[in-house]
A = this chain, B = another copy of it.
């Protein structure tokens, strides 16, 4: 890649980073092109060399947000571990991800039901792919013996919803004690679901 392209990529990244930084404290629909370019140290017109819209920038941020998560959870689910240990590890994973990628997680939570349709659609699509992956991993586990595909999928959705809720709770945690409490709650809830799953047949 030539110097030209590299410089362009750098500017593009600066715009994305500026956007993400600003979006930590406000909505995408409340964001302005001028605001982003100002934060990125660029003239307003320059924005249009990279994105048609702020919505387009938003969709790129969605993709970046969820790309890392995919690998993360895929790895966690692939591990063959005892159920209790897996739960602890999963909650720790979520906590770590929120700590390291706080801005991305906040952005996702904000815009999941936000006012910008293309961004909302992108998030919904990614979360659905997510549930697919989880469902596939669950189906491969011995505990899913005798479960219909629909029921496995339902279980996967419950897990994904719970994961999102937990991540959001971590986001708003007040301090270490609060984080510990949230982690404990999440673990207990997962354990409850796990117990229900084990005794599913007996009703």
Question: A: which residues have CB within 8 A of B?
Answer: 25-27, 29-30, 106, 109-110, 112-115, 124, 151, 154-155, 157-158, 161-162, 165, 168, 172, 185, 188-189, 192-200, 202-203
User: Taking A110-B113, A114-B110, A199-B199 as contacts, is the C-beta distance between A192 and B155 under 8 angstroms?
Assistant: yes
Nearest-neighbour CB distance to chain B for A48, whole angstroms, equals 21
Copies of the polypeptide in the assembly:
2
A194, B197: Cα distance in complex, Å: 10
Specify which chain B residues have a CB less than 8 angstroms from the CB of A172 in the assembled complex. 124
A109, B113: Cα distance in complex, Å: 6
- Are A165 and B165 neighbours in the complex by a CB distance under 8 Å? yes
A41, B162: Cα distance in complex, Å: 43
